[in-house]
């Protein structure tokens, strides 16, 4: 079975070249000068379009338990929405509950995902209970293709780890060559600010932002970097939102430390003004770290240009406005944390290209190639080259679209980007050689996606 994608501009971190792509079964067979081949079982005309490696969203939460409820996308609905938006790989977080093993956690996440995904998927492991047996189990996780571990400096009593626990896990990461991912907010201080606000009768969603100041993200980020330096472990800061945190990452990188960071579209495009929307609308924008003042956005775009921010992920964690965000009406601390976005990352970051903030090459690098290298999926994913999986997006840079909950495919009753008018749109998506999205609609299936056993990080200094 051969598919020829002809006439397009093939993108990579180096930019674009006019080339044709020949796909044989599940893989890329050749990238050739235009016109070298002209027959195949299927020919897709990409004239005037970009042809880019499928997006890799390295941070999603499908069916995630949180505060007595579950994020509203299943692996089936969430990966289907991802495909619609040109994302052909997700890496989701398996969540260790306190008192349980990493092995049983991984089993549970396989049960939820296996046979239900529309695109390929891998797992990170959230470590919430550091003890001798958890640390030992980190070794078997790596052997099982789960080579990255998220820890939390926030959410005391839930996911929180002490500095000592973090240090122990980092030592194990150094020993196994695996990656520590950090939710870097000072949760101990934040909990005091939250308690104080509630005691003063301040319960509105905007308080979520006001009680989590950016300085406490900067402080935690610096502390995590110091602990990583002491232990020699690589460190990946997830969902970086604040200028103070970015400065700490940039300084560590300048000093040659293996410190990396991702940001998310919501921090580039939304702000605390959205959290302050009246009539509880702000609840739609509650996530941690919180949406910041607008002034942080220019720093984040600069960080994307300089590679102090190497990856853009979504932290997709949808909760319906009507029946889930509602849990925190009157008490912002009970609003389930998370913003939906897995469908829109490629399009939203393309706006950065349109606006001149980032180059086409950086768009592809931050959304596909670097996440593949960061999380041990390269060159199977993240590149259009012979032998790579044929995860390919044909993207029309001239098309326009308006984002809305009425037209999106995520299983959530609102869009954080309602009414956003965008330039550029996904036209066709191939997942391992199969056309799953085309102008005639979704043609994939929720058993098509396969589990990706990941290697170690391929992005270290
Ligand atoms: O608010 C968020 N980000 N929810 C998802 C969990 C996490 O911390 O990534
Ligand atoms: Zn987090
Ligand atoms: Zn997250
Ligand atoms: Zn619902």
Q: What is the ipTM of this complex?
A: 0.94
* Mean pLDDT over each residue of the chain, to the nearest integer: 98
Share of the chain above pLDDT 90, in %: 99
Beta-strand relationship, 65-66 and 69-70: antiparallel
Q: Dump pLDDT digits (tens) for 297-344.
A: 999 999 999 999 999 999 999 999 999 999 999 999 999 999 999 999
Minimum-distance ligand 1 atom for the alpha carbon of 238: 9
Is the residue at 4 inside a domain? no
Distance 332 CA to ligand 4 centre (A): 19
Ligand 1 cavity residues, CB under 6 Å: 61, 183, 239, 287-288, 315, 317, 337-338
- Asked if residue 83 is part of any domain, the answer here is yes
Indicate the pairing of strand 69-70 with strand 2-6: unpaired
Peptide bond connecting 379 to the previous residue in cis, omega within 30 degrees of 0: yes
**Which atom of ligand 1 is least distant from the CA of 288?**
1
Domain count along the chain: 1
Q: How remote is the CA of residue 412 from the centroid of ligand 1, in Å?
A: 16
Estimate to the nearest angstrom the gap between the alpha carbon of 178 and the chain centroid: 18
429 near 88, Cβ under 8 Å?
yes
Asked if residue 347 is part of any domain, the answer here is: yes
CATH of residue 65: 3.20.20.140
What share of residues in the chain are helix, strand, coil (percent, to 5)?
35, 25, 40
Is 398 part of any domain?
A: no
Please state the rounded mean pLDDT for residues 39-65.
98
With respect to residue 191, please indicate whether it lies within any of the assigned structural domains: yes
Print the domain residue range for 193: 54-374
Determine how β-strand 87-95 pairs with β-strand 120-126.
parallel
pLDDT digits (tens, 9 = 90+) for 366-406: 999 999 999 999 999 999 999 999 999 999 999 999 999 99
pLDDT grade for 68, boundaries at 50, 70 and 90: confident
Q: Is residue 26 part of a domain?
A: no
Residue 302 domain-assigned? yes
- Which residue's entry shows tokens 């302050």? 276
In a domain, 366, yes or no: yes
Going by CA atoms, what residue is nearest to atom 4 of ligand 1?
338
């Amino acid at each position: 079975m051969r598919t020829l994608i002809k006439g397009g501009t093939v993108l990579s971190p180096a930019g674009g070249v006019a080339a044709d792509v020949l796909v044989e079964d599940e893989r890329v067979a050749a990238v050739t000068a235009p016109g070298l081949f002209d027959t195949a079982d299927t020919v897709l005309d990409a004239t005037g379009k970009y042809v880019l490696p499928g997006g890799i969203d390295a941070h999603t939460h499908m069916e995630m338990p949180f505060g007595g409820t579950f994020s509203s996308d299943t692996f089936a609905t969430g990966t289907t929405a991802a495909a619609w938006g040109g994302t052909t790989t997700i890496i989701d977080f398996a969540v260790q509950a306190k008192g349980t093993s990493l092995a049983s956690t991984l089993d549970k996440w396989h049960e939820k995902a296996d046979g239900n995904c529309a695109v390929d998927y891998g797992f990170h492991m959230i470590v919430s209970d550091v003890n001798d047996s958890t640390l030992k189990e980190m070794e078997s996780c790596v052997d099982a293709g789960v080579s990255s571990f998220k820890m939390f400096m926030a959410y005391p009593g839930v996911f929180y780890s002490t500095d000592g626990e973090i240090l122990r896990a980092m030592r194990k990461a150094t020993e196994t060559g695996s990656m520590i991912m950090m939710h870097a907010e000072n949760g101990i201080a934040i909990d005091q600010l939250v308690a104080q606000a509630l005691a003063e009768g301040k319960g509105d969603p905007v308080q979520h932002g006001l009680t989590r100041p950016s300085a406490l993200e900067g402080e935690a980020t610096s502390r995590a970097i110091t602990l990583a330096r002491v232990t020699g472990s690589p460190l990946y800061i997830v969902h970086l939102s604040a200028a103070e945190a970015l400065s700490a990452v940039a300084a560590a990188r300048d000093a040659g430390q293996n410190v990396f960071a991702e940001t998310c579209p919501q921090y580039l495009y939304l702000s605390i003004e959205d959290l302050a929307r009246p009539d509880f609308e702000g609840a739609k924008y509650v996530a941690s770290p919180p949406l910041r003042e607008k002034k942080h956005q220019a720093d984040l775009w600069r960080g994307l240009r300089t590679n102090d921010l190497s990856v853009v992920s979504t932290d997709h964690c949808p909760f319906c406005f009507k029946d889930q965000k509602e849990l925190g009406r009157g008490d912002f601390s009970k609003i389930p944390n998370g913003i939906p976005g897995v469908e829109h990352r490629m399009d939203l970051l393309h706006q950065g290209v349109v606006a001149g903030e980032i180059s086409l090459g950086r768009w592809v690098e931050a959304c596909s190639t670097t996440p593949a290298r960061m999380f041990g999926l390269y060159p199977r994913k993240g590149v259009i080259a012979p032998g790579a999986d044929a995860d390919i997006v044909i993207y029309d840079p001239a098309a326009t679209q308006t984002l809305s909950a009425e037209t999106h495919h995520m299983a959530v009753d609102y869009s954080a980007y309602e009414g956003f008018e965008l330039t550029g749109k996904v036209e066709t998506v191939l997942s391992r050689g199969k056309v799953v999205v085309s102008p005639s609609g979704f043609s994939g299936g929720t058993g098509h996606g396969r589990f990706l056993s990941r290697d170690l990080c391929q992005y270290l200094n």
